[in-house]
Amino acid sequence: MLLAMVACPYTHAEVVESALQTCVQCHGDKGVSSQPGTPHLNGQLPAYFSEAMSAFAKGTRPTAVAQHKQLAVEQVAAVAKFYANEKTVPRPKQNIDPALVAKGEKIYANRCMECHPDNGRDSDKDAPYMAAQELEFLVTQTLAFKTGVRKFAFLMDDAYRGLTDDELAAVAHFFAAQDLLASPTEKKRRRK
């Protein structure tokens, strides 16, 4: 451990800073994106983040963004940690149809909650956090799984079976409408 630190010519902060220079133009300062179709990265699980970057690099998860394939493994780990620590940076409120949120909530409870618990604020089976994620990104990704552009995770195909595009879009609206952090009253209710 000590040897590795001595051998590394850059500090942790420098590794993060140089890597982030290419990410901020789309994912925003501290991972809060302001561009439709671009996901927020702040607060994301480091394991999921690193897995996504590795899948981009290997080509097993498609992406049109060349910069997704350019980070070294140690940069990915450092950047994953940086974003995970920015969980309290607020995300912008989105313009979301309440009727679709209500429809999506029912589908969520039956089909998605098992791996995306607590309205998408928690995770099981290595799933990403989904609450308050950018709406257009969520809609695109749900359809990408359905059409096979993105490969289903283990057992996730079962959850999707028979759902229409409109139903999947409704769940995307539900996730997008959630707060990133549970309110103190919600936390208390859950502890009972």
| Count of CB atoms situated within 10 Å of the CB of 123 | 18
Burial class, 99, CB count within 10 angstroms (exposed 0-12 / middle 13-18 / buried 19+): exposed
- Restricting to residues 18-57, name those near ligand HEC by CB under 6 A: 19, 22-23, 25-27, 37-39, 41, 49, 52-53
Contact 74, 15 (CB under 8 A): yes
Give the span between the Cα atoms of 32 and 134, in whole angstroms. Answer: 9
Residue 126 binds to ligand HEC (criterion: CB under 6 A): yes
Binding status of residue 132 toward ligand HEC by CB under 6 A: no
> What φ, ψ does residue 9 adopt, rounded to 5°?
-75, -15
Write each residue from 75 to 114 as x if it is in contact with ligand HEC (CB under 6 A), else as -, in one continuous string: ----x-------------------------------xx-x
Are the C-beta atoms of 20 and 82 separated by less than 8 Å? yes
Note the residues at the interface with ligand HEC (CB under 6 A): 19, 22-23, 25-27, 37-39, 41, 49, 52-53, 63-65, 67-68, 71, 79, 111-112, 114-116, 125-128, 137-138, 141-142, 153, 155-156, 159-160, 163, 168, 171
